[in-house]
Structure formats: C-alpha cells, structure tokens
Amino acid sequence: GLPPALAARGHRVMTISPRYDQYKDTWDTSVAVEVKVGDNIEIVRFFHCYKRGVDRVFVDHPMFLEKVWGKTGSKIYGPKAGLDYLDNELRFSLLCQAALEAPKVLNLNSSNYFSGPYGEDVLFIANDWHTALIPCYLKSMYQSRGI
C-alpha cells in the first residue's frame, strides 16, 4: 500500500523485486548491469511495468527463477519454514546491488509527470531482511565514491 500512496501524493515511486515469474504485463527493458556477487560477476536484467502510479521493476537472474521453475516446489526462501537455501545471501546481495543501480540506469517514461532515469537523488526504503544490505552498500560502495 505504501508505494501507490506515495505516488498518489505526487512522488515518483519505484519498487524493485526479484523476478520469480514471467509477470505477463512486464516488459524487458533490455538494460543489463554487472554486479559482483561473491567471487563472481553476475549480469542482471530489468523487467518493468507501470501500475497504480508506480514503476514496478523486477530483477531478472537465473538464481531467482530457478527457485520457482526448478526442483524447489516454488519455495523461494528455503525448502521448508525456518530453513534457508544456502544461496540466499548471494541472491539477496545480487538483488540489493541491482536495486541500487536501477534508479541510475533505467530510462523509464511511464508517467505523464516523470520521465528518464531517477538519478541519484532518491530515497531507498529497505522493508525486509532481503534488502538489509542496501544501507551498507550505499555507504561502502556509493557514498565512499561521492555518489
């Protein structure tokens, strides 16, 4: 409820989630970025739709989709309650880094009032443990470079 409420008050709002499914109304932005996850460089793509005044962005990477399409029975955090997948740290590190890049690299023109990239003047709301690394990355990877 918060994103549409903020949009209704005149703010430009983007939500960022893992792409766990095809989401019929989203389109591939054709934008890809590289993020460092563990010892590897991973490429993520962004999918987008515009609903209720909000840019809905989905981070596309096989680490997300395999939890739905693979042998996990659509359990996206762990094989059972209270037990996490061993790659959760990598997956959500990837999500957080992609989320920090999205406002800079996505050229979104969905709204009659806003167009282009969000830029660097943004507020991030990290509302669950999946996004807990965002403030850490903002400080260590961006603020330290003056971004």
CA angle 132, 137, 143 (to 5 degrees): 135
Which pLDDT belongs to residue 66? 65
The three-class DSSP label of residue 6 is: helix
Chosen CATH of 2-143 out of 3.40.50.2000, 3.40.50.300, 3.30.70.141, 3.20.20.150: 3.40.50.2000
Q: Under a CB-based contact definition with an 8 Å cutoff, are residues 102 and 46 in contact?
A: yes
Nearest residue to 18 (alpha-carbon basis) of 93, 116, 80: 93
**Residue 28: closest CA among 36, 37, 19:** 19
The pLDDT score that the predictor gives to residue 27 is 92
pLDDT at 23: 77
State residue 109's pLDDT score.
87
Three-state DSSP class for residue 55? strand
To 5 degrees, how large is the angle CA 103–CA 43–CA 63? 105
| Beta-strand relationship, 27-37 and 13-18 | unpaired
pLDDT at residue 81, as a whole number: 78
pLDDT score, position 98: 97
pLDDT of amino acid 24: 80
Specify whether the CB–CB gap between 48 and 106 falls below 8 A: yes
26 dihedral zone (left: phi>0; alpha: psi -120 to 50; beta): beta
Other Cβ atoms within 10 Å of 108 Cβ, number: 21
pLDDT tens digit at each of 147 positions of the chain: 999 999 999 999 999 999 987 778 899 999 999 999 989 999 999 999 999 999 999 999 988 876 565 554 567 777 777 888 788 899 999 999 999 999 999 999 888 788 888 988 899 999 888 899 999 999 999 888 888
pLDDT for the residue 10: 93
Domain boundaries, the chain: 2-143
47 and 56 in contact (C-beta within 8 Å)? no
